[in-house]
Copies of this chain bind each other. A is one copy, B any other.
Amino acid sequence: MKKTIMIAGAAGEGINTSELFLERMLKREGFFVLSYKNYMSRVRGGFNYATITLGTEMVNSCEDRADIIIALNQEALDKSPMMLKKEGFILASDQLKTDAVEAHKSILWIEQEPLKAVSSSKNAFSMCAIGVVLKKLGLEQEALKGMTLKKWSEEVNQTNLAAGTYGFSLLESQIKTEITHQKETILVNGNQAVALGAMASGLGFYSAYPMAPSTGIITYLAAHEREMGLIVEQAEDEIAAIMAAIGAASNGVRAMTGTSGGGFALMVEALGFAAVSEVPLVVCNVQRPGPATGLPTRTEQADLSFVVTASQGEFARIVLAPLTVEDAFYTTFRAFNLAEKYQVPVIILTDQLLADSTQTISKFKTSGLKIERYLMEEVQTHYKRYDFDQTFGGRKYPGLDDQTLVMTDSHVHDEYGNETEDEQMTIKLKHKFIRRIEGIKNELNAPIFYGSESYKTLLICWGSTFGALKDAVNALNDQGESVAMLAFSDVFPIKEDVLKVYLKENVNVINVEGNAFNQFGKILRMETGVTFTKSINKYDGRPFNASYIIEAYRK
């Protein structure tokens, strides 16, 4: 069972609240949900919608067509038929009823007059619609209790509830879906998962400059700054944000910054500084479509080539692209240990799809996680901050003991951090970076294999495309194809033989990416020599879904 509910209207008409209530109620009733926000770069007006896909098992990807649409205004109503599944229906206020649309069988008109009689809420329609949806899905009236917000007054909450209850009464009782109650699940989005992963890893300092779709990370962290004993600082610009994170990290605190493409672009010089000064730094780039301002609130996977080579000169770095909301937590946790082990910058590459996807997932397990710092504990009178023989570990920072002095430097330097122009030191520094890259390659996670063992086609994806591709692979195999997939969360650096075990004769290799330039496909070709027979791309600012992949596959 998989159903999708869509709430469509203008910014400011209550889409977010309705989505929040609905996904929370469904989750509490034991459904798995995955919601996604599809919104314009504006504060009020425009055409926005949220989708909530629910099922009795983990929901991997959103659907682009809905079973139920809650249309909050005329534009939404007009666009609804195109976004509706065959058997679906639309909920709309009877005040939008015109001769043109009246005939449409799949519209359930909610009469405003009786509704107004029971509820004075300005959101009466959407609350009522939620009631209808719950009844339709066969839930108990009890579930409506989730329709409250602490920050609202008792009165507002009551009148909303009245509208919901009214909606619940509008339909005949429905057949109940069998759901096994999921106890240990949480409902969390990608930005929150990154923030939580960072805090689990001991984050102490976060600085950022607001930028969609990454702002959710700092907003979440700032709200918990006091409770968690963090310092969260809004910087004057992205350069300051990353430099401040480096300043904190070089003084022993786990530190991070987050941004989106344009902000990341401004951080590029500092990225190289973190690398050459060997300061463990974690940067999250929540991708949105570029170039430049691009589409501020949409999604794309088109910053990979950029982040993999960003900054002048040559150094070791790690790029991780979480596959799912759940993975975002564990991968972010891992990022800090890797950064501190190899003393390199680690870039976490998510995107608006992941950032604005709220998903029911297993509660994060922290008992198995360990913060590893790789510090040098012994006092050093002449501390070799940049020992050329050390591939990992051995770090000290000011104040770790009361004797050692630490020099952090942005030039080519000798082992103590004194700037030098010596040829041999210059070479040694390169060799150290190269050794680190080899170490990192051996430590990173192999791609996840999924699908038919006797595959004729191997679909390769990275990052957030995972969910849609997984659903597509399942569907294709169900339809009699023999396909499998490889999903990379650890996208850089790449071992030359990473694909070797998966390549067999007569197997087609297809890369599936949310960009037009086949960025990961090209990186794989560069690093492994493997060429693709076909590519499946999406680059209209909207996320992949399974049916799009299936269609492209069949073409």
Contacts and interface: CB of A to CB of B under 8 A. Distances in A.
Nearest to A423: B540
Given A41-B421, A517-B314, A275 B292 contact: yes
Most buried by B among A239, A305, A313: A313
A448 B273 CA distance: 37
A61 to B, nearest CB: 18
A438 B156 CA distance: 60
A272 B298 contact: no
Most buried by B among A287, A289, A531: A289
A261 B295 contact: no
B312 A541 contact: no
A268 interface: yes
Given A314-B515, A314-B516, A531-B529, A411 B269 contact: no
Contacts of A303: 312-313
A555 B306 CA distance: 35
B313 A290 contact: yes
B298 A273 contact: no
Given A295-B421, A421-B541, A516-B430, A313 B302 contact: yes
A412 interface: yes
Contact of A268 (B260, B268, B287, B296): B268
Contact of A292 (B260, B272, B434): B272
Contacts of A276: 290-294
Contact of A421 (B40, B315, B426): B40
Given A276-B291, A430-B516, A525-B526, 19 more contacts: A261-B272, A261-B312, A262-B269, A262-B272, A273-B291, A276-B293, A277-B292, A289-B313, A290-B313, A290-B315, A294-B412, A298-B421, A309-B309, A310-B310, A423-B540, A426-B539, A433-B516, A525-B529, A529-B529
- The 4 tightest CB contacts between A and B, nearest first, are A290-B313, A261-B312, A272-B291, A265-B269
